[in-house]
Each structure stands twice: as structure tokens, then as C-alpha cells.
Amino acid sequence: MNVTKTTALAHSNIALVKYWGKRNTQLNLPAVGSISINLENLHTTTSIEVKEHLKSDELFLNGNPAKKHESERVRSFMDLLRKKSGNKIFTEIISHNNFPTSAGLASSASAFAALSLAASCVFGLQSSKEELSELARQGSGSAARSIYGGFVEMKKGSRHDGIDAVAIQLAPKEHWELRLLIAITSESKKETGSTDGMKLSEKTSPYYKGWVKSSTPDIDEMRSAIYNKDFQKLGELAEFSCLKMHGLVMSSRPGLLYWNGTTIEVIHAIKELRRRGTAVYFTIDAGPQVKAICLPKDTIQIKKELEQIPGVKKIIETPLGGDARIIGGES
Ligand code: 2P0
């Protein structure tokens, strides 16, 4: 009997080597590869149910009907599954994030990874992880990485059809116990989403070509830092890739600035901690939250320091998370 209702869970992820820019917008193919870690305590749970009477997919986000642009994005994603499976069914999709949405915490990553898994299941597709990653990428580039737990590399790929633009797992979370402390400095939605921000940088930044060209060595070095568990190298490279991406973003026209004043205060506090001998590094996505990367033994001290900074609303602590997975289903 076919499964008619399924629930999947996927974790968010944070890139240590950043993705910014597309080589094909239609298939959402990245212009650069990226490397991320998957985050245990930030996740999306998505239930999807086949409803015979529906004429289009219905989406509820965090307990409310989704906004028009969110529903449209999800409906065109679901069209991919209808095309792939040859099944014309429509569904009700109920999705919950356990963290602030659209505030630079990669909500689209966990959302489209969970949706890819749950939707593949109700559409009767026996998808491999690689196929799920390829599908998730078409929803959101960073979602391709959230299919896997631990340390993940997103391949830029070179094919026009995009089947080699998928993520792979470099190492499971057990390989190296890292911690992330996320300093929340604002819970407002960002003004410019990543997709629009990328388009603007591609079109207008004089640094865009240099960004694309210089990404491969970053990927190679980060991969070896992870395999060799070289924390200093991982941290220095993560900061380099982060600042390089934000430099690119700021050099667009009009320039984008995802940070607020507290973002900068937290960066300085992390540098100061390091000057005093604590191994901690920062990275920041397309938003104002600062993620401090550290080792388990230092988390209490770093958390104490960061939560004292005026403007830091709260700190979310997380170890690395596991693969996206099915957590419930009905036939
Ligand atoms: C990353 N970001 O590597 C980079 C760093 C944000 C900053 O991937 O257009 O929402 O849906 O493919 O995946 C966020 O971009 O963009 C992102 P789309 P996505 O994590």
C-alpha cells in the first residue's frame, strides 16, 4: 500500500566554505562548491499528506498559512516531483522550524531537505541520498547539504543537467566533536534573501570573478583540515571564506550589508577570546547572527562571554547533527 502521509526531519547547516552565486538559475546550479557542518539543535519537521480533493498544494509554515511567494516556491518544487513520478496528486504540507525563520539561520536548507525526503516518500520515489540531494538543491542550494549529517561538501559539478551538482558526506558527526554557539542578534526577517543577493552580486560586483576563481583552493584546504582535525586551519579558513563572501556582498551595487552593530561586537569579542588563548572562530551567513565555532571543552566560557555583549538576545548551542530522516508515516 502507498504511503499517504509522511513526516521528515532535517537539520539546518552552516557553511564553513560559503556558497554564493549560481552557474545556472533554472536548475539552481552553484557557481562554487561549499563545505558545511550540520546542526543538531536547529531543525525543520515537515509532514506531507496526499489529499484527493485538493487542486493545488497547500502549505502551512510554523502554524500559519504560508505567504503567496512561499507557497509559489513550494508548488513549483512539488511540480518537479509530479513530473518525476508521473503522479498528479496534490498535498497538504505542514512545516515547523524550531528556530527563527529567514534570519540567516539557513531555514530554507532544512526546509527543502525535509520536504525532499517527505515528498519523495509520498510520491513513491525510491530516491538515493544523492538523488535527494539533487532534488533538494532545486529547492534551495544549501538544502542539498542538509540531506547528510556531520561534515558535508557540495560539489559545484560541471554538467549542464546538474546531476553532478550534489552534496556528499565528508565525515559523519562522530568524526570530530565540534560545537557551535549561535549569537542571535536579531529575529527580524532579512531585507534581501540569498537568491536575490546572489543575483545582485553576480551582476554588479567587480569582485565576483575573483570570488568564483578563488573558491576551489578553499574547498581543498577545508577538506584536508576536516580529515586531519586541524582546528586552527578549519577556523582560519572559515573566517576567511565568511569575510570574503561578505566583502563580495558589500561590493555589490547597491551594496548589501547583512550585519548589525552587535554582529561586529561579537566578531571583536571572538577575536579577543582568541588573543587570550581560547580556540574559537566565527562565521556568518546572509544575516546578522554570529556563529562561534569551538571545541566542547571551551563552550561554557565562550557562551558566558558572548551572552554579556549588549544586543545579544540569546545563544543557541549545538553539536553536529545527523542525516535527514523519516520520523513518521501512515498508509
Ligand atoms: C551557504 N548561503 O553556503 C551560503 C552562505 C548564505 C550565505 O547558501 O538561492 O538559501 O535558495 O540556492 O541556499 C543561502 O542560500 O540560496 C546560502 P538558494 P540558499 O550556506
SS3 sequence of the chain: CCCCEEEEEEEEEEEEECCCCEEECCCCEECCCEEEEEEEEEEEEEEEEECCCCCCCEEEECCEECCHHHHHHHHHHHHHHHHHHCCCCCEEEEEEECCCCCCCCCHHHHHHHHHHHHHHHHCCCCCCHHHHHHHHHHHCHHHHHHHCCCEEEECCCCCCCCCCCCEEEEECHHHCCCEEEEEECCCCCCCCCHHHHHHHHHHHCCCHHHHHHCHHHHHHHHHHHHHCCCHHHHHHHHHHHHHHHHHHHHCCCCCCCCCCHHHHHHHHHHHHHHHCCCCEEEECCCCCCEEEEECHHHHHHHHHHHHCCCCCCEEEEEEECCCCEEEEEEC
Is there a single domain that holds both residue 76 and residue 223? no
Q: Which residues line ligand 1 (CB under 6 A)?
A: 15, 18-20, 28, 34, 106, 108, 140-142, 194-195, 198, 285-286
274-328 pLDDT, tens digit per residue, is: 999 999 999 999 999 999 999 999 999 999 999 999 999 999 999 999 999 999 8
**Probe ligand 1: pick from 140, 201, 237, max atoms within 8 Å of CB?**
140
Domain that includes residue 216, residue range: 179-318
Task: Tell me how far the alpha carbon of residue 20 lies from the centroid of ligand 1, in angstroms.
Answer: 7
184-212 pLDDT, tens digit per residue, is: 999 887 788 899 999 999 999 999 999 99
On the CB side of 301, how many CA atoms lie within 13 Å of its CA?
14
Confidence at residue 107, expressed as pLDDT on a 0 to 100 scale: 78
The number of residues in the chain equals: 331
Within-domain flag for 327? no
Task: Tell me how far the alpha carbon of residue 142 lies from the centroid of ligand 1, in angstroms.
Answer: 5
Task: Tell me how far the alpha carbon of residue 233 lies from the centroid of ligand 1, in angstroms.
Answer: 23
93-130 pLDDT, tens digit per residue, is: 999 999 866 555 667 999 999 999 999 999 999 899 99
Is there a single domain that holds both residue 92 and residue 155? yes
* CA-nearest residue, atom 12 of ligand 1: 141
- If one compares 330 and 23, the residue with the highest pLDDT of the two is 23
**Index of the ligand 1 atom closest to the CA of residue 195:** 9
Is there a single domain that holds both residue 282 and residue 188? yes
- 302/312 Cα distance (integer angstroms): 13
Structural domain tally of the chain? 2
1-56 pLDDT, tens digit per residue, is: 467 899 999 999 999 999 999 999 999 999 999 999 999 999 999 999 999 899 99
Task: Tell me how far the alpha carbon of residue 128 lies from the centroid of ligand 1, in angstroms.
Answer: 23
- As a whole number of angstroms, the longest Cα–Cα distance in the chain is 63
pLDDT above 80 for 148:
yes
**Probe ligand 1: pick from 285, 289, 290, 291, max atoms within 8 Å of CB?**
285
The CATH number of whichever domain residue 90 belongs to comes to 3.30.230.10
pTM of the model: 0.96
Last residue of a domain, one of 151, 175, 199: 175
Last residue of a domain, one of 175, 209, 232: 175
Average pLDDT over the chain, rounded to an integer: 95
